[in-house]
Homo-oligomer: A and B are copies of this chain.
Amino acid sequence: MKASKQGGKTMYLIVVYDIAVERIDKVRKYLKQYLNWVQNSSFEGDLKEGEVEKIKIGLKKLIKEEEDSIILYETPDKQWVTKEIVGREKSEVTTII
């Protein structure tokens, strides 16, 4: 899949993962290219629809599908999703990894 033309609608993506520790850094580094790290095990952000497909393919290459689990929640417009935080709001940690 060529990334040169990422057309299509914009989607809002929330990614929640449960990955074995030996693969987690690679997955985080990969997701960080496209999304914002919002919590220990989750990322979110706006993407083109084509990028969502690309990310899914990229993630499959980084994980062991029989062991790791990644859930992608996509919404066509984030106006449909209200986000609330209980407790500490983690700042976007872009310097740790």
> A residues engaging B (CB < 8 A)?
14, 16-18, 38-42, 56, 59-60, 63-77, 80-90
Contact = CB atoms under 8 A, between A and B. Distances in A.
Nearest to A12: B81
Q: How many copies of this chain are found per oligomer? A: 2
Given A16-B39, A39-B16, A41-B41, A87 B69 contact: yes
A41 B16 contact: yes
A60 B86 CA distance: 7
Given A16-B16, A39-B16, A41-B40, A67 B88 contact: yes
Given A16-B39, A16-B41, A39-B18, A69 B82 contact: no
A51 to B, nearest CB: 14
